Amino acid sequence: MPHWAAVIMAAGKGTRMKSKLPKVMHTLAGKPMLQHVLDCVRSVEIPRSMVVLGHGREQIEATLDDRTEVVVQEEQCGTGHAIMQAIPHCHEVDHIIVLSGDQPLIRPETLRNLIRIHIEHNAAATLLTACFENPHGLGRILKEGDQFLRVVEEKDATPEERLVQEINTGTYCFNVAKLREALKNITPKNAQGEYYLTDVFAVFHAQGEVIRTYCTEDVHEALGINSRAQLAAAEDVARQRILSYWMEEGVTIIDPRSTFIEAGVVLQPDVVLQPFTILKGRTQVAEDAVIGPHTTLTDCTVGAGSEVSHTVGNQAVIGGHCTIGPYAYLRPGTVLQDKVKVGDFVEIKNSQIGEGSKIPHLSYVGDSQVGKSVNIGAGTITCNYDGVNKYKTIIRDKAFLGSNTNLVAPVEIGEGSVTGAGSTISKNVPANTLAIERSTQKHIENWVRNKKK
């Protein structure tokens, strides 16, 4: 869409959130509210995105990529004033779409319809509207037939006007040249001393310009988030949208009420999500994998056919046809090749585990390279930290570690070697070798006292 730009208003303080975090930076489905709006704009191929910032400018600006232009509103003097700051940056732009950074539920198809109507009618302005059963507190859209007349705020509306259910969402398309001239004719004639963007509609109407509206069928798109309660309500809407989308794409979700999927997650058909599954960040799950119950994965990759139960994973890669859990903890840097088993109460950190290897239970593996077809017995620990530095453990293919083996890094276990149960291994073990390190067992006779004495 050449010669278009988006202007997103995000300068407000968000007092009702009662937070040190700027309002538009509060997350919804794993992404800041503002990022939802930016992603929506980019999905309809609007080439330029400008964000008007004021309160919390530094915090917000630090999260924006190079594609986003920042316009500074030093004093928050209303929506009209915010657009006045953006207009000088609209070089070679014929039309703009104005959105609010605290309305993250807006959808691409709605923007496409709004833009289509704006272009088809060669309008000076096109408003996105919605119909609420109870529009209390919202600006009403007044019309004569299907012709737009004006926007009236709740406090200024007559009893008859308050019966109108069509409301102004705060999303608009404008012809830039006409908007630039109209902004010269609005004044801060209100108790707050603010410039209202909606005042330009009266200017357009007086000049006989074309003003159109498009009413969205989804009232959730009009929800502005100003409090924690409203954020929670919007989170529920976003979650239901995401769940519905993935079920339509062939994912089985056993209990949608207890399943949470963030916006950046990617799932393939025939994935099964058991109850109390939480998928966050950029997690990707391949076909036929079964996740859950009671599993949280953040920025993880799960291969086809793997089963992950009662597990917490963060920045981990799980190969195909692996069995993970219950009660496994996969920390950043964990890479599991195909057909790996990680059982109960196993923690892995910054380690590569080769194909077909097994760590069935009660182990810690950190900063390690484990080969193929390795068996790590219960209670085995890699002792990788001396209080200052981390050291690497290498376990070659087909090694067998007996239960309760301590591997004092840096150390290497050769291919096909075996460690005896209870051994503390601090020296490299050659290939095909049995390594045992135990103290001599002693018996002290008659040591047990007679408890009755």
Pinpoint the alpha helices (H) of 62-107. Answer: 79-86
**Is 349 annotated as ligand-binding?**
yes
**Is 432 annotated as ligand-binding?**
no
Inter-CA distances, 272 with 291, 306, 390, Å: 6, 11, 38
**Is 391 annotated as ligand-binding?**
no
What is the bridge-based pairing of β-strands 166-175 and 95-100?
antiparallel
**Is 195 annotated as ligand-binding?**
no
**Is 438 annotated as ligand-binding?**
yes
**Is 384 annotated as ligand-binding?**
yes
**Is 73 annotated as ligand-binding?**
yes
Q: CA-CA distance, 40 to 106, in Å (whole number)?
A: 7
SS3 assignment, position 222: helix
**Is 378 annotated as ligand-binding?**
yes
Q: CA-CA distance, 188 to 79, in Å (whole number)?
A: 11
**Is 382 annotated as ligand-binding?**
no
Element (H, E) at 43: helix 33-43
Q: CA-CA distance, 429 to 434, in Å (whole number)?
A: 8
Residue 91 appears among annotated catalytic residues = no
**Is 406 annotated as ligand-binding?**
no
**Is 212 annotated as ligand-binding?**
no
**Is 423 annotated as ligand-binding?**
no
Q: CA-CA distance, 234 to 103, in Å (whole number)?
A: 9
The full length of the chain comes to: 453
Nearest Cα to Cα of residue 52 among 20, 28, 29, 24: 24
The active-site residue, picked from 26, 36, 220, 361, is 361
Nearest Cα to Cα of residue 342 among 315, 314, 322, 367: 322
Annotated binding site: 23, 73, 78-79, 100-102, 139, 153, 168, 226, 331, 349, 364, 375, 378, 384-385, 403, 421, 438
Annotated binding site for UDP-N-acetyl-alpha-D-glucosamine: 23, 73, 78-79, 100-102, 139, 153, 168, 226, 331, 349, 364, 375
Annotated binding site for Mg(2+): 102, 226
Catalytic residues: 361
Annotated binding site for acetyl-CoA: 378, 384-385, 403, 421, 438
